[in-house]
Amino acid sequence: MYITVPFTKNIISAGDKGKGRASENPEEQPVPQITEEERLERERTAAEIREGRERVNAQLKMCDRMKLSRRLGRRLKGWVEKFSRMADELTAEKRPKPTIAEVLARNNQGQCPLYDEHIFDEPYDDFIRNDIDKRHEERVKVIEQGIKEEEKRLEALLIEKVAELRKKEKEKEKEKEKEKEKEKEKEKEKEKEKEKENEKEKEKGKGKGQGNQKKKSSSDEGNDSKDLQLFLDAEMEGYRDFANMFKDMVNVAPPGSAIDRPGVRKRLRMVKERMRAGEDALDLLRKNKPK
């Protein structure tokens, strides 16, 4: 951010005050007579103005780069406006009379190089520099402290999470061991029950023939096959009703309606295939009755 203070093209001298605007032609204006001391003072002033401009622009660039607080930026802008206003309030009597070279430069470039910037007092300059350095150091300290605290917090959180995971793993291992022990106990109980059953069968088998142990009555076989056939018939009846319902819906519905679609016909075909498969299974079971 560079600071430029516009300057009026027409300069009103002390003699022309109240008479209107002075002529813009430098040849018509009277050539001011200045002494050697005034010329040296003017050159020194111009040098100080250039130095002040460079310092302020450097500080404003630093502010933009560091992205400092808005409060400090407003303070800098306030100082710039203050000195610009003070320069504008200067009367023509207090202003130094320009030389011919300055007037020519003003007419050619639109501004006078000696009046585009104004001097900042050294105390203000030091205050700005010290304030910037102090704020930057404070921000760096706060950021470093925040980073350290965050590292400690994350480290503690990581330790806590690792401890929780280890605890959960140990609990899972204990549960697995308990389940294995329970399974072993169940297997032992089953083996004991089998041994008891074998002993009972051996005791019952004493004094009896082998034919009496394996024979089944013809009435029991007939009852088993009859129950199985009734169960399968009931299942197939449900399939038949379902298939007939879809068949009636497709036949009754007018062509082009929502029910007359390939999806419905596909569903009906699947139901019919399942029904045929069930009938085939029923025939197979009827032919090969379980013994």
- The pTM of this model reads 0.23
Across the chain, mean pLDDT equals 64
**What's the DSSP call for residue 10?**
S
More confident residue, 184 or 14: 184
Q: Which residue has the tokens 């929780």?
A: 164
Tens of pLDDT along 80-124? 666 555 555 555 555 555 555 555 555 555 444 443 344 344 444
Quick one: average pLDDT of 162-169? 84
Q: How confident is the model at residue 221 (pLDDT cuts 50, 70, 90)?
A: low
Quick one: average pLDDT of 192-206? 77
pLDDT on residue 35: 81
CA atoms within 13 A on the CB side of 164: 6
**What's the DSSP call for residue 23?**
P
pLDDT on residue 228: 66
Domain ranges of the chain: 1-120, 219-287
263 vs 151: CA distance, rounded Å: 63
Contact 135, 69 (CB under 8 A): yes
44 vs 98: CA distance, rounded Å: 15
